[in-house]
Amino acid sequence: MSEMQLNTLSPAAGSKHAKRRVGRGIGSGLGKTAGRGHKGQKSRSGGFHKVGFEGGQMPLHRRLPKRGFTPLNQHLYEQVRLSDLERLTAEEIDVQVLKQAGVIGQAVAYVKVIKSGELTRKVALKGINATAGARAAIEAAGGSLA
């Protein structure tokens, strides 16, 4: 078995193939129009247009309405601090109680308590979520979450 030498190296079979030579006669299969079809912008040299161009018709990305980065349901969610709960007089607190106290807006549907401020009194939350830190603070004050 002879060892490999630089002058015997060759690429793997089928990995290299001849470049397509267009416009080189009828026998090549790519003569005359050279695979570009007949007439039109794309048949001509330099005849290309930008992505999304629709021949002068108002392109799709301009026909559709603009929708930025404003979440459509952002008004449904709100955060409440522990200090906000401290100021309330009610023992049992739910979304309705927070709305009546003016802590959250009338359109809010989902509330989450965050650990900000102090809570010294016992409160029972109904239908309200809380972060891990806020949950620990509420339970440390003798409160509960349902």
- 133: confidence class by pLDDT, cuts 50, 70, 90: very high
pLDDT tier at 1 (50, 70, 90 boundaries)? low
**C-alpha to C-alpha distance for 131 and 92, rounded to whole angstroms:** 19
Indicate the helix (H) or strand (E) that contains 144: strand 144-145
Give the number of other CB atoms < 10 A from CB of residue 98: 21
The CATH number of the structural domain formed by 75-145 is: 3.100.10.10
**Per-residue pLDDT for 136 more than 90?**
yes
pTM surpassing 0.75? no
| Boundaries of every domain in the chain | 21-68, 75-145
Q: Do 96 and 109 contact (CB within 8 A), yes or no?
A: no
Span 5-49, pLDDT tens digits: 999 999 999 999 999 999 999 999 999 999 999 999 889 999 888
Cβ neighbours of residue 95 under 8 Å, at least 6 residues apart? 104, 108, 109, 110, 111, 127, 128
User: Is 80 exceeded by the pLDDT of residue 88?
Assistant: yes
Give the mean model confidence (pLDDT) for residues 90-108: 93
